[in-house]
Structure 1
Amino acid sequence: MGFSEERSADVVAASFAGAADPRLRQVLSSLVRHLHDFVKEVDLTDEEWAAGIGFLTRTGQTCTDVRQEFILLSDVLGVSMLVETVNHRTGGVATESTVLGPFHQVRSPDRRLGDDINLDGKGVPCLVSGRVTGPDGTALPGARVDVWQTNEDGFYDVQQPGVQPAGNLRGLFTTDEQGRYWFRSAVPRYYPIPADGPVGELLTATGRHPYRPAHLHFIVSAPGHRPVTTHVFVADSPYLDSDAVFGVKESLIRDVPEVDDPARAAATGMANPFRALTFDITLLRGDAHEGPA
Structure 2
Amino acid sequence: MNDNLSFFTDYLAASIRLAVPIAFAALGGMYSERGGVLNIALEGMLLTGAFSSAAATFYTNNPWLGVMAAVITGGMLGLLHAYLCVSLGVNQLVSGLAINLVASGLTSFLARLVFAGGSAQKLAAIGAFKIPGLANIPVIGELFFQQDALVYLLILLITFSTYFLFYSSPGLTLRAVGEYPQAVETTGISVMKVRYLAVITSGCLASLGGAYLSLVQIKYFAEGMTAGKGFIAIAALIFGKWHPLGCGLASLLFGATEALQLRIQALGVNIPYQFLIMLPYVVALLALVGLVKKSAPPAALGIAYNRED
Please state which structure has a larger fraction of its residues in helix: 2
Q: Which TM-score applies when normalising by structure 2? A: 0.22
Larger radius of gyration: 1
* Structure having greater relative contact order (Cα 8 Å, sep ≥ 6): 2
Please state which structure has a larger fraction of its residues in strand: 1
